Amino acid sequence: MAGLLTVLLNWRSADMTLRATEAALLALEGIAGALVIVDNDSGDGSFEAMTAEVQKRGWDKGAQAVRVLQSGHNGGFGAGNNFGIRAGMPDGSKPEFVYILNSDAFPDRGAIRALLTHLQAHPRTGFAGSFIYGDDGVPHRTAFRFPSIAAEFEAQVRFGPVSRMLNRWIVAQPIPQATAQVDWLAGASLMMRQAVLDQIGLFDEQFFLYFEETDLCRRAALAGWPTDYVVESRVMHIGSASTGMREWQRIPGFWLDSRLHYFKKNHGVAYTTVATLALLVGGILWRARLLIQRKDRGDPPLYLTDLTRHALRSAVSPLFGASGATVKSHPKASG
């Protein structure tokens, strides 16, 4: 049994996950495949509630057979999606394509087909992602360049002349107006070719949350499989419904761990050190401007302090850093 495997990851948001599943099933009409909901060890009755509701609605016997699986461990966004991908199709076979959808993302009727059609028409493209907009209708920036030393400095210094000079390295690109190749895409709605995953591996599970899509797209690109942004695929994304990112009062340890792991893994210790110094210098210069200008700081309180402490602890102890030791509790890994 080939076709498309759709994976939705749930953590303590059963009602919203079921809403996303319903939207996905409408968008999947006429497409051969199956859908799996992975409960990321919610521990709040989500798994039982979703299992019962799937059976009640008859989704488990529909054209897109829906299964609800229990991961048994909240290992993060990558680990949860990997669990669903490894489960494969209901008959145990591998799909031709894998589509991951956030539990707070709702594809328009033609959104999933647009991604599938694009990958079928472009056999050398590895991944394809959607145009994402919020529940207020405002488009989200979800197409990015890979992080770099220059990008770390530019993002923190927030100074027009510097941004113009370093334009080719800015991570957050303007929203593409037409389908185009990008470095990486947010994983709220991302379709992947199974053959590429077989070649490069699944998500790196050392990332609990954030940077895992960046790393996966980079590995695919290095293997000759680019990522495309498909404007015809439109998905509404509430965003941060489970991570609480909008309400961060301090930068979470899992974000610091993921950032450090990404740079060390992909560029080495020396590059990581320079990138962190570039970020700190840019941040200090920005805060110096704030002494004379009334502007929003743009970062959680004590951001530079927390990042500096994290970097120093990582430098003196190889057991610290990307291991996740700074995290006392994890939110859902849903991006």
* DSSP line for 284-301: HHHHHHHTTS-----S-T
Domain-embedded: residue 91: yes
pLDDT for 297: 86
Domain-embedded: residue 311: no
Q: Please, which pLDDT band fits residue 333 given cuts at 50, 70 and 90? A: low
Is the alpha carbon torsion for 328, 329, 334, 335 positive or negative? negative
Domain-embedded: residue 274: no
Distance CA 138, CA 153 (A): 28
Is the alpha carbon torsion for 232, 238, 241, 247 positive or negative? positive
117 Rama sector, left if φ>0, alpha if ψ -120 to 50, beta otherwise: alpha
* Closest to 172 measured CA to CA, from 127, 196, 139: 139
Q: How far is CA 318 from the centre of its chain?
A: 26
Domain-embedded: residue 128: yes
Q: What is the pLDDT of residues 18-55, one digit of tens each?
A: 999 999 999 999 999 999 999 999 999 999 999 999 99
Query: At 135, phi and psi to the nearest 5?
Result: -70, -10
DSSP conformational letter for 206: T
Q: Please, which pLDDT band fits residue 318 given cuts at 50, 70 and 90? A: low
Mean pLDDT, to the nearest integer, of 79-98? 97
Query: At 250, phi and psi to the nearest 5?
Result: -140, 155
Boundaries of domain holding 9: 4-147+172-241
* Number of domains comprising the chain: 1
Q: How far is CA 301 from CA 242, 304, 330, in A?
A: 21, 8, 20
Q: What is the pLDDT of residues 153-190, one digit of tens each?
A: 999 999 999 999 999 999 999 999 999 999 999 999 99
Domain-embedded: residue 269: no
Distance CA 107, CA 192 (A): 16
Domain-embedded: residue 305: no
Domain-embedded: residue 166: no
DSSP conformational letter for 146: P
| CB distance 131 to 229 below 8 Å | yes
199-213 in b/e form (b: 16+ CB < 10 A) is ebebbbbbbbbbbbb
CA atoms within 13 A on the CB side of 143: 24
How many CB atoms within 10 Å of residue 279? 25
Predicted TM-score (pTM) of this structure: 0.92
What CATH number corresponds to the domain at position 131? 3.90.550.10
| CB distance 97 to 194 below 8 Å | yes
Domain-embedded: residue 219: yes
> Which residue, chain included where needed, has tokens 């003196």?
316
Structure tokens at 124: 């050398």
Residue 242 has pLDDT above 50, yes or no: no
Residue 72 has pLDDT above 80, yes or no: yes
pLDDT for 329: 40
Mean pLDDT, to the nearest integer, of 109-126? 98
Mean pLDDT over each residue of the chain, to the nearest integer: 92
Structure tokens at 250: 């301090």
pLDDT for 190: 98
